[in-house]
């Protein structure tokens, strides 16, 4: 495992700062989809605001039996999709620079 996901939160009170913050369901889904496309089980580090408590987990442990790109067969198409996205981004940058 090489990738690490970071989740942030603004602590408003001392009690909240002492609790370990875990990624929400939406964040877990996003991390899972990226992990499936990258073909790696992403490590997720969670901590409290004081950094006195840190937990290390994997996205597959935080979201077991997840639905994502693998279920749709997109992991095989990802390199092509990435190239198309990069080409489109370059086109958009060129358009922006012409203005």
Q: CA geometry: angle at 76 spanning 75 and 82, to 5°?
A: 75
Give the residue extent of every domain in the chain: 4-98
For 8, which DSSP code? -
pTM for the full model? 0.63
Burial, 32: exposed, middle or buried (Cβ in 10 Å; 0-12, 13-18, 19+)? Answer: buried
Q: What are 51-87's pLDDT values in tens digits? A: 888 999 999 999 999 988 778 877 666 667 777 878 8
Of 35, 43, 38, 45, the closest CA to residue 67 belongs to 35
* Token reading at 6: 């970071």
């Amino acid at each position: 495992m090489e990738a690490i996901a970071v989740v942030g939160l603004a602590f408003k009170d001392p009690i909240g700062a002492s609790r370990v913050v875990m990624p929400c369901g939406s964040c877990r889904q996003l991390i899972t989809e990226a992990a499936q496309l990258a073909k790696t089980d992403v490590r997720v580090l969670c901590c409290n605001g004081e950094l006195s408590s840190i937990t290390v987990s994997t996205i597959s442990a935080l979201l077991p039996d997840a639905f994502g790109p693998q279920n749709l067969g997109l992991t095989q198409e990802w390199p092509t999709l990435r190239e198309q996205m990069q080409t489109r981004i370059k086109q958009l940058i060129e358009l922006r620079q012409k203005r």
